Amino acid sequence: MRSSPVASTLALNPLKNPSYPARTHFGERPALEARIKACDEKLGAVRRKFALLGNHPRRADYAKLVFQLQGARDQFADAAYRMVREAGGLYHEDHERLEVAERAFSFILRRWDAVAP
């Protein structure tokens, strides 16, 4: 019975715990950063439009949506930051958090598009 290449390289390194799963998701980072950048661009467009409202009677309602959108973006960025550094079940948990945050961002953005002047 042969051991896997990952297990054999970990066994050679005394600083690595062989029972801890290897972190192999660092390659996903550029794609996640691109998705965060896309969220930032959309959020920037919403903020620019919000800044043009001035003393609009429903400005408080729009501000609430902008802050919710910022919160969803922050949750997305936090999950993306953590996800590439995790292994095993924690990776999958953060992947789920990432998907939920992305859906929330899209939902709030659709709400903004529906009510924004």
Per-residue pLDDT of the chain (117 residues; tens, 9 = 90+): 455 555 455 456 777 777 766 767 777 888 989 999 999 999 999 999 999 988 888 889 999 999 999 999 999 999 988 887 777 778 888 889 999 999 999 999 999 999 877
* Residue 3 maps to a domain: no
Per the structure block, which two tokens stand in for 42? 């959309």
Mark 46-56 as b/e (b = at least 16 C-beta within 10 Å).
beeebeeeeee
Give me the pLDDT at residue 11, please: 53
Where in the sequence is the domain holding 62, given as residue range(s)?
A: 26-115
* Residue 13 maps to a domain: no
> Which of the 8 DSSP states describes residue 88?
T
* Residue 4 maps to a domain: no
Give me the pLDDT at residue 15, please: 75
Specify whether the CB–CB gap between 46 and 109 falls below 8 A: yes
Give me the pLDDT at residue 103, please: 96
Give me the pLDDT at residue 68, please: 96
Per the structure block, which two tokens stand in for 62? 């729009």
Q: pTM of the predicted model, to two decimals? A: 0.76
Structurally, the chain folds into a number of domains equal to 1
* Residue 15 maps to a domain: no
* Residue 37 maps to a domain: yes
* Residue 17 maps to a domain: no
* Residue 19 maps to a domain: no
Rounded to 10 deg, the angle between the 59-83 and 29-51 helix axes is 170
